[in-house]
Amino acid sequence: MTHLPPTDLVVAGLGPAGRALAFRAAAAGLSVTAVDVRPQRRWTATYAAWADELPAWLPDEVVAAHIDSPAAWTTGPHTVDRAYRVLDTTRLQEFLALDEVTVVTGRVRDVDADGVVLGDGRRMPARYVVDARGVPADPGHAQQTAFGLIVDDAIASPALDGHAAWFMDWRRDNGTGPDDVPSFLYAVPAGDGRTIVEETCLVGRPALGLGELERRLHVRLEARGVRTTGDEVVERVRFAVEGAPTAPGVVGFGARGGLMHPATGYAVATALSTADAWSMRCVAARIRTASCGLSAPAPWRPSGRWDCGSCCDSTHAERSSSSTRSSLCRSSSNAPTCPVATMRPAWRPRCGGCSGCCRWTHA
């Protein structure tokens, strides 16, 4: 079996979660390999998030529209006093550049604690393994579905009733009655003078079909005086809102790791904002084990295993002599320096204390 060179971190899947993690981990100084069936695939979905869930390192250039107080209609109208951001998907993807990452095109066949195996038999060994392959759109999983049209702001305007955006408008002017499975209108500015109007089934197993949502959207728009032409750009949404199992010793990240918000199905902001915490775990582990002679990547370790957990948290290959083992272990003392302190200032977390990812605190 062919082995690619070992790295600190291998990421399986380069959707928003995998790409964010690979980008941030490389920026923190880790050697990173990432694999995807189509690594250069352009993202087309309109991603949005609450402003306070986005990490401070994300520049404003990746935001397509700012909404200070979106509206919601449950049994009556509400103003949500929480800023909302619609992202410019193309700019987001470009910002999460992979220049410092070894990118491999391939289909992942197996993921285990020592690395990733591709369909063609190549093995990608790594100290840390993250599975960010998303979750297949399988009807056995709970899903969110939506059918949307992207229209000029002026055309969408009657659907908004004077509000900047509808985060969720649950009114029944979509032709449904109290006994029907409900769906809501999501209507937000998408930037460049366009608004996305989307009929959404929040969650279902099975979720409402896209044909039914399209029909409901047209009934609703007609009822509000929105005139469409049939030439609008369409957005079709279907994604799983529950995670999938990962192998022991493998971190599931993004949708794969069940990072979806339970009330919205959103996962992109969580992946962006937790990428640093995972990177820091890898950095800390690398520093802790940097001088330990037994911490070689899996393909180069002798067979047999033991844990030397008192000095580092890796599992190492067995050596015959316990004196060899203890002297090697003594050499892997805990990190003298906080890994955050070794990062370039621009990439350091801004929280001040990083107790979530290591045990040091910072000024």
Ligand X SMILES: Cc1cc2nc3c(=O)[nH]c(=O)nc-3n(C[C@H](O)[C@H](O)[C@H](O)COP(=O)(O)OP(=O)(O)OC[C@H]3O[C@@H](n4cnc5c(N)ncnc54)[C@H](O)[C@@H]3O)c2cc1C
- What phi and psi values does residue 40 have, to the nearest 5 degrees? -90, 5
Cβ 316 to ligand X shortest distance, Å: 29
Could you tell me the smallest distance in angstroms from the CB atom of residue 87 to ligand X? Answer: 8
**Cα–Cα distance, 231 to 168 (Å, whole number):** 25
CA-nearest of 87, 99, 60, 82 to 269 is 87
CA-CA-CA-CA torsion for 189, 190, 192, 195, nearest 10 degrees?
-50
SS3 state at 64: strand
Block residue for tokens 């892997």: 332
Of 133 and 220, which CB lies nearer to ligand X in the complex structure? 133
Q: Which residue, 149 or 335, is less far from ligand X as judged by CB?
A: 149
Binding site for ligand X (CB under 6 A): 12-18, 35-38, 45-49, 107-108, 132-134, 235, 237, 239, 254-256, 266-269
Q: Which is nearer to ligand X, 255 or 340 (CB)?
A: 255
Smallest distance from ligand X to CB 105, Å: 9
**Which tokens belong to 129?**
């393994």
Taking the least distance from each CB to ligand X, the nearer of 25 and 354 is 25
Name the DSSP class of 361: B
Alpha carbon separation from 43 to 11, 22, 92, 93 (Å, rounded): 18, 17, 9, 7
Name residue 187's amino acid.
A
CB atoms under 10 Å from CB of 101, counted, come to 25
Contact 7, 31 (CB under 8 A): yes
Nearer Cβ to ligand X, position 105 or 324?
A: 105
Shortest Cβ 333–ligand X spacing (Å): 36
Closer to ligand X by CB, 41 or 330: give it. Answer: 41
* Adjacent-strand bridge partners of 238: 145
CB of 300 to ligand X, least distance (A): 25
Residue in the shown chain whose Cβ atom is closest to ligand X: 15
CB of 114 to ligand X, least distance (A): 17
Distance of closest approach, residue 35 Cβ to ligand X, in angstroms: 6
Q: Find out whether 3 and 114 touch, Cβ atoms under 8 Å.
A: no
CB of 18 to ligand X, least distance (A): 5
Q: What distances in angstroms separate CA 305 from CA 6, 188, 232, 316, 319, one per listed residue? A: 19, 55, 60, 6, 9
Kindly state the smallest distance separating residue 334's Cβ from ligand X, in Å.
Answer: 33
> How far is residue 101 from each of residues 20, 25, 28, 252, 289, measured CA to CA in Å?
11, 9, 12, 19, 22
Cβ contact 299:274 at 8 Å: no
Query: How far does the chain reach from its first CA to its final CA, in angstroms?
Result: 48
Distance CA 3, CA 110 (A): 14
Question: Among residues 278 and 343, whose Cβ is nearest to ligand X?
Answer: 278
Nearer to ligand X, 95 or 360 (CB): 95
